């Protein structure tokens, strides 16, 4: 358009800055043009700012073949040049231009016909003006530069020298190994330029310094005011408006050298109404003197950042000052401009919070939703499997500790990870590097890239190692940066396959070794058997060389070279690292046998012995056969154990489809990239049947997703916009567009694989002991062999003894609430009191449920839940005048229950509570009601009375029920020879009743968490190994103190973290199964030790010749067979554990049939608190004992547990929730 000199559009800032001619355009006309293009455009509140114009004078070469008219036309075609006038003598061109768009050095380059190598005619005047001219004009310098090997070297020199103050132009020739530089001598010297080139790693020599380019008189006058450079980086300027100047200090981060200082100075000093700028590299500050009437603080800040948008970060320091420099009145700045200046964007930071207690995606969404709404929070990203949250926040508003407190208030555990390293790591292959300059250029460019923290490039391997912040930059951006420098890049491919887990290569390797050894071993064994059966000697081939030894030698050599190749490789690697393993022992044995046999055979042949020597050529083939067979079977077993991890890794996708969306979410393009190049925030398309490459959130589309291999959910899950998806799950019937939230190692699938790998690499204590023992085994065998050699010399022998001990769990301690019991109260029975009561059962339930719906007490919650279930309704009536009296009950007014009963509306006065509450309100209990309450309390229930309009209407019994499998689990543990103890913080009456229900005779009641630790320690001091079973936070200290801590999977995260064993299901029979499995595992390990050691304990003395006097001799081939049999037997014995299956409930019940019975009070010993003395139960009379045992016998016959509840004769507990197992199917009326 006419009148438009320049326009800059910022997508991030959503604004456009236009430099225009006010004679041809107005702001309104420009706004209309943008609106006509289909965009919404509004004018800024501030008035248009004036644009600084500048003038330069260009000398036209006298011998130029270009006319003045051609020079004018060439210059006017460029943006920023407004006018060009030629002097009358046609020797000078006066150019008017906009300094913010173009500078004078660029204008000189645009003049056609000027050659850097051609100097202007020499000035003959010898006046004082000549000295001024010689300082002001540009000088051409030719330099010899050695050490350049490629175009990257030339670009490095041009970029570095071209940024120096005073250097106007530079051209580096790689072919001529020289540089031509145009500079201003009053700003920089030739020696300084030479030093800067040498600082870049090159060698420079000044070839020729040409005479200055001649300028006109006007040029000389103009250059008289040019300021020389100063150390602190200051530039002076005389603005057109000097009234009311102010000074402001900016903090500038990202400056690395004086070149950065000079760039900022030259750019900002050219702005209108900027009088002076002082830039300090050491203090990282820029002090600007400006006229606030024509330029704002925010414009200055953005102008400094625009010098290098990816490098400089500008902010106002805390001690922000805006000092007025002149006393002249200043015209007020518009209010909107002041507001703009005050809104300085603060630098955000990222913190990582470790979160405990998250169990599902609902927890993730809850945390993200709550935290993201808090002031100062920019973004929140929560990873479920990793248990971490990345929060970007404004440190001026909120701190990480406050964020952690907010998460803790939601019921989760949260700690700030101070030293968390969440940086991304990228490995690239860089092609096209030829020298160290290329390496320097790539590293320096990457370090200038925003978000890159570290870069290292190796020329020898053509690899680059980059560490970056994934919140700021991604791998594709880094690769593009390197490619823009002229180099090729590709990602270093990582092995995502599970081939290293299935051990296929090792299986093929040892199979080949076994078959090669077997081919030559069978003839050797046949020859040996033939010689044993025939008992005859074959003829000699040569004196001292029999046919038998010759054939054995020929068959042994291939086995030694090919069959033992892998053994020799492994042994060499072990010895290289100064360790000795079984491979070293095998190689040592076979090599000694082969070398000894070969040497003794050569000696016999040399001496022409008439008796053939005894050789051991049969030992290497047999030993290699059996050992290779054992290794083959071993790696096949390892492959089986890694099947689960292999399946997980196979779920990972290798590629992802990235899409670009238009403003209306239309699909613009698709690109297939490696999954490791996907960045956070990328839009990924997943087609039906495809795998999700990363974790993300659906933004478009709807489909069913199969997550069974990740979460175990058998049915497909519906995904719609806003739903989260997991990497590795399979899309079924619809295309989805997702926004990537977790990529690379942060995906859920990668975290699961990491957990499984860590679990497989971790070692149990007994496995560590086995590894430690095997580390001493080889040196021990070698030492025994050496000692045996000397022992035979002195006719002696050596014996040794191995002692093995191991401890078993003897005591199992159970927590009560949530472990033995369900942990939540339930309504056991509702009794309707018929006397003086005319209301039906449903009406009473509607009134009671409505009244308790406002209560937060666990008993009230249980009553409300029961009433809703019985009435088959989720909504109840209206409750008013609700009052709670602690320890007694509630009172309220209930209305609008008729919607549930289809009757007229009435208002009821309701009282619900214990005896005390009824007495306070003038209601007396009759003896039959009181007896009914006592009966319930004896059975472990809490009895609650209900009164409506002053009339007692009902009685509700509530209890925390014992788990149905608790009694069976305790009985099975006792049959296994274990002592079972109940430890609880409840009162002694409740603990005694629970113990009688499940058959436990030793109880610790009213025990604090610290007391639980003391009790566990006390049992350990008695020489017992203790297993503690619990689920709550109060159990975690005792779980950590016990020899084996067992946590219920539905318990708290603190308890699970402190435990050694975690039961996934809330089933006490799993405690029995875990102990049974541990016993079988330890038994198998000991059995393996016996198998492995028995061959050596028996075979070594025999091989050493201890029993030689009695005629017992161990042949070498027998030792090889025993060695191989040891390995095979251990592997086969371990594989038998795969056949283990947990006994079913029916099997346990069958074993316990007729043997379980509940305990009487006299059989239960209760210890209260930390006191070590037990509270003995009162002794029953002989008749009571007969009645008790008779009822137990009837119970075993009729399987009716309800009849047993009446034998508990303890005093009722009216102030706490007792636990029982009593339940009536039908309500009873009194």
Q: Residue 1007: is it exposed, middle or buried by C-beta count within 10 angstroms (0-12/13-18/19+)?
A: buried
- CA dihedral of residues 251, 256, 261, 264 (deg, nearest 10): -70
Which tokens in the block code for residue 1102? 């025999």
Q: How far is CA 56 from CA 109, 219, 221, 926, in A?
A: 13, 8, 11, 114
Beta bridge partners of 1029: 814, 1046
Instruction: State the DSSP H helix or E strand holding residue 436, giving kind and residue range, or none if neither.
Output: helix 436-448
Task: Classify residue 375 by burial, with Cβ atoms within 10 Å: 0-12, 13-18, 19+.
Answer: exposed
Which residue's structure tokens are 């567009």? 737
- Among 509, 475, 530, 469, which residue's Cα sits nearest to residue 628? 509
CA 85/CA 501 separation, integer angstroms: 79
- The C-alpha atoms of residue 10 and residue 798 are separated, in whole angstroms, by 88
Tell me the C-alpha to C-alpha distance, in Å, between residue 1225 and each of 624, 834, 1202, 1222.
73, 19, 12, 10
- From 815, 960, 1031, 1035, the catalytic residue: 815
Question: Where are the alpha helices (H) located in 577-617, listed in sequence order?
Answer: 582-607
d(CA 163, CA 261): 10
What angle, 0 to 180 degrees and rounded to 10, lies between the N-to-C axes of helices 966-975 and 1145-1152?
60
SS (H, E, C) 722-788: CCEECCCCEECCCCEEEEEEECHHHCHHHHHHHHHHHHHHCCCHHHHHHHHHHHHHHHHHHHHHHHH
Closest by CA position to 653, among listed 496, 500, 501: 496
User: Is residue 580 classed as helix, strand or coil in its secondary structure?
Assistant: coil
DSSP character string of 276-310: EEEEETTTTEEEEEE-TTT--HHHHHHHHHHHSTT
- 815 catalytic, yes or no? yes
- In angstroms, rounded to a whole number, what is the distance separating the alpha carbons of residues 917 and 920? 5
Distance between CA 1133 and CA 1130 in Å, rounded?
5
Give the C-alpha distances (Å, rounded to integers) separating 819 from 650, 672, 1030, 1201: 39, 53, 6, 21
Closest residue by Cα to residue 977 from 810, 1124, 838: 810
Coil, strand or helix at 875: coil
Contact 1101, 1107 (CB under 8 A): yes
Angle formed at CA 263 by CA 348 and CA 99, multiple of 5 degrees? 110
Distance (Å, whole) CA 622 – CA 632: 15
Contact between 1221 and 1205 under an 8 Å Cβ cutoff? The reply is yes
Burial class (CB in 10 A: 0-12, 13-18, 19+), 606: exposed
Contacts of residue 494, Cβ cutoff 8 Å, sequence gap at least 6: 676
- CB count, 10 Å around CB of 1174? 14
- Alpha-carbon distance 388 to 403, whole Å? 13
CB 184 within 8 A of CB 168: yes
Among all residues, which ones are annotated catalytic? 815
């Amino acid at each position: 358009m006419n009148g438009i000199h320049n326009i800059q559009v910022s997508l991030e800032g959503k604004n456009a800055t236009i430099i225009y001619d006010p004679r041809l355009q107005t702001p309104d006309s420009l706004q209309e043009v943008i609106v006509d293009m289909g965009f919404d455009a509004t004018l800024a509140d501030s008035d248009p700012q004036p644009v600084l114009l500048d003038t330069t004078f260009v000398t036209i070469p006298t011998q130029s073949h270009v006319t003045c008219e051609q020079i004018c036309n060439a210059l006017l075609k460029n943006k920023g040049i407004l006018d060009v006038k030629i002097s009358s003598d046609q020797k000078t061109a006066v150019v008017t231009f906009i300094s913010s768009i173009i500078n004078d050095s660029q204008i000189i380059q645009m003049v056609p016909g000027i050659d850097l190598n051609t100097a202007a005619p020499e000035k003959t005047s010898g006046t004082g003006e000549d000295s001024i001219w010689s300082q002001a004009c540009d000088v051409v310098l030719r330099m010899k530069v050695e050490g350049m090997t490629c175009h990257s070297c030339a670009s490095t020199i041009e970029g570095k020298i071209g940024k120096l103050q005073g250097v106007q132009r530079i051209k580096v020739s790689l072919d001529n190994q020289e540089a031509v530089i145009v500079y201003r001598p009053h700003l920089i010297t030739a020696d300084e330029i030479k030093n800067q080139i040498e600082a870049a790693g090159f060698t420079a020599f000044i070839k020729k310094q040409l005479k200055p380019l001649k300028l006109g008189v006007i040029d000389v006058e103009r250059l008289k005011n040019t300021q020389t450079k100063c150390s602190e980086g200051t530039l002076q300027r005389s603005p057109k408006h000097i009234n009311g100047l102010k000074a402001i200090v900016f903090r500038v981060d990202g400056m690395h050298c004086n070149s950065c200082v000079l760039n900022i100075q030259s750019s900002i000093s050219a702005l209108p109404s900027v009088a002076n700028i002082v830039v300090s590299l050491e203090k990282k500050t820029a002090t600007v003197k400006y006229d606030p009437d024509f330029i704002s603080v925010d414009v200055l800040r953005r102008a400094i950042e625009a010098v290098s948008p990816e490098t400089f970060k500008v902010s106002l320091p805390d001690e922000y000052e805006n000092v007025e420099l002149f006393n002249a009145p200043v015209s007020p700045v518009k209010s909107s401009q002041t507001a703009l200046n005050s809104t300085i964007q603060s630098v955000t930071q990222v913190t990582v919070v470790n979160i405990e207690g998250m169990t599902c995606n609902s927890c993730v969404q809850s945390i993200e939703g709550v935290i993201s709404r808090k002031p100062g929070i920019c973004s929140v990203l929560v990873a479920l499997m990793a248990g971490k949250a990345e929060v970007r926040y404004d440190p001026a508003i909120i701190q990480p500790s406050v964020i952690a407190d907010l998460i803790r208030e939601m019921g989760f555990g949260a700690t700030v990870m101070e030293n968390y390293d969440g940086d991304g790591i990228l490995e690239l292959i860089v092609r096209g590097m030829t020298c160290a300059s290329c390496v320097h250029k790539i590293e320096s460019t990457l370090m200038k890239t925003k978000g890159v923290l570290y870069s290292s490039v190796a020329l020898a391997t053509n690899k680059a190692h980059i560490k970056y912040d994934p919140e700021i930059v991604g791998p594709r951006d880094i690769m593009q940066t390197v490619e823009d420098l002229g180099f090729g890049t590709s990602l270093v491919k990582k092995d995502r396959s599970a081939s290293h887990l299935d051990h296929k290569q090792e299986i093929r390797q040892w199979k080949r070794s076994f078959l090669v050894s077997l081919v030559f071993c069978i003839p050797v064994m046949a020859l040996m058997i033939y010689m044993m059966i025939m008992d005859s000697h074959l003829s000699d081939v040569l004196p001292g060389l029999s046919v038998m030894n010759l054939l054995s030698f020929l068959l042994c050599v291939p086995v030694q070279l090919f069959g033992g190749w892998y053994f020799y490789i492994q042994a060499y690697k072990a010895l290289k690292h100064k360790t000795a393993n079984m491979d070293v022992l095998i190689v040592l044995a076979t090599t000694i046998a082969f070398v000894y046999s070969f040497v003794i055979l050569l000696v016999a042949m040399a001496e022409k012995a008439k008796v053939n020597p005894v050789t051991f050529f049969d030992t290497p083939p047999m030993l290699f056969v059996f050992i290779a067979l054992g290794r083959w079977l071993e790696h096949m077993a390892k492959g089986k154990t890694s099947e689960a991890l292999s399946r997980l890794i196979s779920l990972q996708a290798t590629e992802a489809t990235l899409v670009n969306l238009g403003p209306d979410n239309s699909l613009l393009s698709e690109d297939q990239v490696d999954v490791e190049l996907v960045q956070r925030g990328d839009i990924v398309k997943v087609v039906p049947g495809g795998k999700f490459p990363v974790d993300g959130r659906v933004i478009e589309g709807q489909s069913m997703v199969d997550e069974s291999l990740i979460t175990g959910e058998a049915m497909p899950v519906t995904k719609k916009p806003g739903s989260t998806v997991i990497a590795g799950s399979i899309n079924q019937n619809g295309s989805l567009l997702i926004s990537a939230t977790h990529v690379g190692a942060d995906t859920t699938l990668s975290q699961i694989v990491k957990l499984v790998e860590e679990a497989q690499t971790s070692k149990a204590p007994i496995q560590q002991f086995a590894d430690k023992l095997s580390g001493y085994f080889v040196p021990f065998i070698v030492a025994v062999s050496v000692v045996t050699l000397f022992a035979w010399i002195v006719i002696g022998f050596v014996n040794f003894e191995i002692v093995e001990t191991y401890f078993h769990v003897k005591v199992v301690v159970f927590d009560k609430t949530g472990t033995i019991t369900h942990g939540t109260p339930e309504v056991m029975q509702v009794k309707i009191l018929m006397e003086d009561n005319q209301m039906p059962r449903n009406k009473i339930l509607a009134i009671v449920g409505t009244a308790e719906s406002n209560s937060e007490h666990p008993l009230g919650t249980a009553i409300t839940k029961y009433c809703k279930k019985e009435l088959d309704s989720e909504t109840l009536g209206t409750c008013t005048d609700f009052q709670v009296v602690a320890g007694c009950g509630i009172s309220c007014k209930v209305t609008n229950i008729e919607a549930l009963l289809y009757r007229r509306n009435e208002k009821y006065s309701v009282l619900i509570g214990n005896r005390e509450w009824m007495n306070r309100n003038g209601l007396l209990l009759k003896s039959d009601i009181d007896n009914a309450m006592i009966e319930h309390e004896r059975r472990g229930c809490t009895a609650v009375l209900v009164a409506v309009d002053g009339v007692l209407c009902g009685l509700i019994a509530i209890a925390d029920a014992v788990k149905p499998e608790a009694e069976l689990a305790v009985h099975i543990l006792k049959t296994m020879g274990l002592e079972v103890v109940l430890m609880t913080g409840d009162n002694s009456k409740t603990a005694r009743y629970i113990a009688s229900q499940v058959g436990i005779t030793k109880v610790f009641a009213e025990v604090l968490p610290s007391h639980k630790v003391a009790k566990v320690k006390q049992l350990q001091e008695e020489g017992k190994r203790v297993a503690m079973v619990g689920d709550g936070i109060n159990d975690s200290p005792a779980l950590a103190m016990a020899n084996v801590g067992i946590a219920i999977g539905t318990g708290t995260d603190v308890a699970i973290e402190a435990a050694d064993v975690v039961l996934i299901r809330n089933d006490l029979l799993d405690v029995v199964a875990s102990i049974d499995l541990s016993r079988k595992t330890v038994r198998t390990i000991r059995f393996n030790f016996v198998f492995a050691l028995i061959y050596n304990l028996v075979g070594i003395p025999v091989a050493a010749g201890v029993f030689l006097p009695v005629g017992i001799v161990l042949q070498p081939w027998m030792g090889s067979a025993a060695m191989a049999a040891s390995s095979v037997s251990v592997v086969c014995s371990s594989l038998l554990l795969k056949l283990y299956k947990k006994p079913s409930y029916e099997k346990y019940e069958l074993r316990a049939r007729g043997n379980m019975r509940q305990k009487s009070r006299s059989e239960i010993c209760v210890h209260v608190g930390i006191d070590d003395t037990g509270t003995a139960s009162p002794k029953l009379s002989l008749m009571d004992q007969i009645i008790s045992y008779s009822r137990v016998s009837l119970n075993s016959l009729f399987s009716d547990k309800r009849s047993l509840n009446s034998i508990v004769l303890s005093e009722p507990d009216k102030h706490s929730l007792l636990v029982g197992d009593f339940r009536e199917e039908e309500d009873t009326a009194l």
